[in-house]
Structure 1
């Protein structure tokens, strides 16, 4: 356990430590002391007396001894001219030390206690005042009730008190050494309010969401009494990292720009159309660290560090955006936001108490994934998917959107795993067998006599089953639609991201879903038949390929019909209307079926299986 804690950088830290926590810390081997100070304390001969005789364990114990005063005069103990504490002090505490604790020289123990206190860094030293102003800036009782939703006031106020008051909240894992500061976070801004409250209205826009070329724009309106109103249109980009473009990211970027350009002691009130900012920074602030893998996690941490630095109130409220504000067609200018966190107001890693084994495993896998160099084949396939979808649908998805599409629930789990492996090229085909002695012939297609790749197997192979399956897929598509796309490797891998649209530019959900199902199912079946032909020596006839393909498509239809039962599956059921849109027009004898054929019997696709010709005699 200790090895794992060291490996994943488990530490105890906070921005500022409350007096209660400082006094509860163990004084021996204090976690904030340097090795030099620890060695300096060990060399003092009275250290063992403090531990064994005085039974000193915490900083509070050592503080009481170091600040011992005479009972009669209420003043510190008088020192001898040599600088060593008096050995024969007659005050009751020193007499008690000699009689009950068998301390030979209480004066020297007092001096050693003072030395130990001097070795404790200022952040952890109860004798040093932390200029965090948390007591002065603490929320009032009315503000605390409003944050809890009590009363009519819907305005939420950011809590500027960042002191550590709960010992369990100080343990943090995956902490970087750069963030371990030995000085407390200090607010250097003036506590005097600078002018009237600044009201900022933020409206976020995202163009082409989910695509690699999407842009985030924040429309900001600033209003302050006795000042001229300002309206800004900002095209957001960040210095530290690439963020997934979304509405919430644009809101955070707009808020970060406002905080960075506003004096620290100017009260700020932020208006937005959503409650995202209020929930993130006020209501659900304690739950932020439960989601460290969220795309906006680091940006949220940066905004919190900037808010902690402020010495004036920051409030959030939800309101409607005026039409006059939205109709201002201002040309956006690109702004590069500094998303680096202030180390003084930033905490490393995540809180140990906020996580569990499942979360920690995901974080560890994410860290290892970032250290691992990207696979060339994976990068190439991602670009081919993006280019193919761009040529066919004018849609350029980001890498994260492509990976999310691999978890599309419209297809079964085995097919999803198959697509994921195809992108990573993990199958043992082609060049893989060149490294295996006596099996080099497996790297060549036995029918075409060319190097075998997944693209060749699924598209270009001369196997009768390949041509039959893709002809059937095109035929069943033509029963309802006419625009069968020209298939290529990138389009096959990105089939779950198809974007067929109507003449008005609206996505046709049923059409996109139908394309995803028939293409992915056909790919999986071709791979299965190829393995039977190569590994099990079972060649597949055209009739068998046709019948097995029909069985796969009918199984997908049956699965959709079963999962559309809301009474059975509840919130996990599939949208009945979407299932009807997907399969209507391609069913067998559809005229005789009811309008809602989900619960009808013998619902099959409109292609009949071919009769098997087993010969005569």
Structure 2
């Protein structure tokens, strides 16, 4: 339930036969809540419940788990479980398998394909996820079966470095933590789901966001730009802490992206909202959280559709508009502060439109030369639907026809009102 969110609830189901005492509907405890964890835990429960001298045939619809316990297990153990997802669960399952004296076999079955055992196990897993409280899971391993460290014959410099980094993970800075929680609160308000901290970091590298903007979002989340309070503790440079545009005492990323009255941020956000063709209700409340987490933004189907589903085209356009607007505000601020170059409102409109036009042309080139799948062309078409100049006059194959010129429809730079 709520897979991929911080309020996700993971269930495991074990079915042996109707009325069997070994049947289990189990709610997985702890912070690791995913479909993969649910599948591994189901195997752990079966291995813990069935007597070790009883032959056991395990049927699962997870190739990930079966391959992990058969094809990849020796390699993972040789490298000391470094960089292995869900290592604690796989290590426990490996211990329970080695403790058994009777043979154990694995069989993959296709999920949701009418297999009786698989359907029963899925229903038990769903019942487990809906339990009000998590169950207790024993992940202890007998010391005689516990392997520590990695084999020197398999250890590389890169692997050793990652292992050292994992062992010496430092806590995040307080400013970074504040940004992370601002992002999570914004996504929760916008989408109704609580994003996980790993998903926030992953969103910075979303494929809909160009590499320079990815780097900007990542550094902004880390609070690594030298602005505002950074300069207050450096003698002789205290004046740099204030906003160069409006003179606010302490500049911050939130201030320059959304609050500064003397920068072009308000104009750029008005341009983005004015171009948005899918209704004001689907435009998110813009703040520092939604800006830094633009890779997580989503446009859903109407509320009467249960459950609401993301709309790929509008979702992609929303991420493009927000990402390009955020980065342009930052670029213009740097040009004004460092190069002392300011632009007129008309020039800002031209810069913003040029960014979107470049994204549109890049999409056309990718769809016609790089990724020629019909699905790719369809995504480009649905992304830019409603924002193209004279769209009703374009031919059906405008995405892949390089001889067809397309452009963004004019924006209204005089738009006023709250963001």
Q: TM-score, with normalisation over the residues of structure 1?
A: 0.60
- Bigger CA drift: 491-500 or 266-275? 266-275
* Aligned residue number for residue 552 of structure 1: 355
* Aligned residue number for residue 235 of structure 1: 27
**Is structure 2 residue 2 aligned with structure 1 residue 208?**
yes
* Aligned residue number for residue 255 of structure 2: 456
Q: 1:487 aligns with which of 286, 289, 313?
A: 286
Q: CA RMSD in A?
A: 2.5
Q: 1:321 Cα deviation (Å)?
A: 3.8
Q: 1:352 Cα deviation (Å)?
A: 3.9
Q: 1:563 aligns with which of 354, 363, 366?
A: 366
User: Equivalences for 1:308-387 in 2 at 5 Å?
Assistant: 308-319=98-109, 320-322=115-117, 323=119, 326=122, 330=127, 332=131, 334-368=134-168, 370=169, 372-387=170-185
* Aligned residue number for residue 243 of structure 2: 445
* 1:237 match: secondary structure: coil
Residues paired across the two proteins, number: 393
Q: Is residue 180–residue 221 contact of structure 2 (8 Å, CA) maintained in 1?
A: yes
**Is structure 2 residue 194 aligned with structure 1 residue 396?**
yes
Q: 1:284 Cα deviation (Å)?
A: 3.2
CA separation in 2, counterparts of 1:464 and 1:277?
Answer: 53
Q: Is residue 402–residue 497 contact of structure 1 (8 Å, CA) maintained in 2?
A: yes
Q: Is residue 480–residue 586 contact of structure 1 (8 Å, CA) maintained in 2?
A: no
* Aligned residue number for residue 41 of structure 1: none
Go from structure 1 to structure 2 and tell me whether the alpha carbon gap of 1:378 and 1:448 turns closer, same or farther (over 3 Å shift).
same
Go from structure 1 to structure 2 and tell me whether the alpha carbon gap of 1:546 and 1:373 turns closer, same or farther (over 3 Å shift).
same
**Is structure 2 residue 306 aligned with structure 1 residue 506?**
no
Q: 2:40 aligns with which of 220, 244, 252?
A: 252
* 1:212 match: secondary structure: coil
CA separation in 1, counterparts of 2:243 and 2:214?
Answer: 25
Q: Is residue 302–residue 346 contact of structure 1 (8 Å, CA) maintained in 2?
A: no
Tell which has more relative contact order, 1 or 2 (C-alpha 8 A, sep 6+): 2
Go from structure 1 to structure 2 and tell me whether the alpha carbon gap of 1:364 and 1:597 turns closer, same or farther (over 3 Å shift).
farther
**Is structure 2 residue 91 aligned with structure 1 residue 297?**
no
Cα shift readout 1:81-101 (whole Å, capped 9, x = no counterpart): xxxxxxxxxxxxxxxxxxxxx
CA separation in 1, counterparts of 2:360 and 2:98?
Answer: 55
Q: 1:580 Cα deviation (Å)?
A: 1.4
User: Equivalences for 1:584-603 in 2 at 5 Å?
Assistant: 584-600=385-401, 601-603=404-406
Go from structure 1 to structure 2 and tell me whether the alpha carbon gap of 1:330 and 1:599 turns closer, same or farther (over 3 Å shift).
closer
**Is structure 2 residue 330 aligned with structure 1 residue 518?**
no
Cα shift readout 1:46-92 (whole Å, capped 9, x = no counterpart): xxxxxxxxxxxxxxxxxxxxxxxxxxxxxxxxxxxxxxxxxxxxxxx
Go from structure 1 to structure 2 and tell me whether the alpha carbon gap of 1:230 and 1:330 turns closer, same or farther (over 3 Å shift).
farther
Q: 1:300 Cα deviation (Å)?
A: 0.8
Q: TM-score, with normalisation over the residues of structure 2?
A: 0.86
Go from structure 1 to structure 2 and tell me whether the alpha carbon gap of 1:285 and 1:230 turns closer, same or farther (over 3 Å shift).
closer
Question: Which of 1 and 2 has greater Rg?
Answer: 1
Q: 1:591 Cα deviation (Å)?
A: 1.6
The unaligned stretches of length 5 or more in structure 1 are: 1-206, 611-617
Q: Is residue 302–residue 342 contact of structure 1 (8 Å, CA) maintained in 2?
A: no
**Is structure 2 residue 62 aligned with structure 1 residue 274?**
yes
* Aligned residue number for residue 285 of structure 1: 73
Go from structure 1 to structure 2 and tell me whether the alpha carbon gap of 1:279 and 1:321 turns closer, same or farther (over 3 Å shift).
farther
Go from structure 1 to structure 2 and tell me whether the alpha carbon gap of 1:301 and 1:474 turns closer, same or farther (over 3 Å shift).
same
Go from structure 1 to structure 2 and tell me whether the alpha carbon gap of 1:585 and 1:296 turns closer, same or farther (over 3 Å shift).
same
- Which of the two has greater strand per residue? 1
* 1:514 match: secondary structure: helix
Q: 1:434 Cα deviation (Å)?
A: 0.9
Q: 1:486 Cα deviation (Å)?
A: 1.9
CA separation in 2, counterparts of 1:524 and 1:340?
Answer: 49
Cα shift readout 1:483-536 (whole Å, capped 9, x = no counterpart): 222211111111111132112111111111111111111111111101111111
* Aligned residue number for residue 417 of structure 1: 215
The unaligned stretches of length 5 or more in structure 2 are: 110-114, 414-419
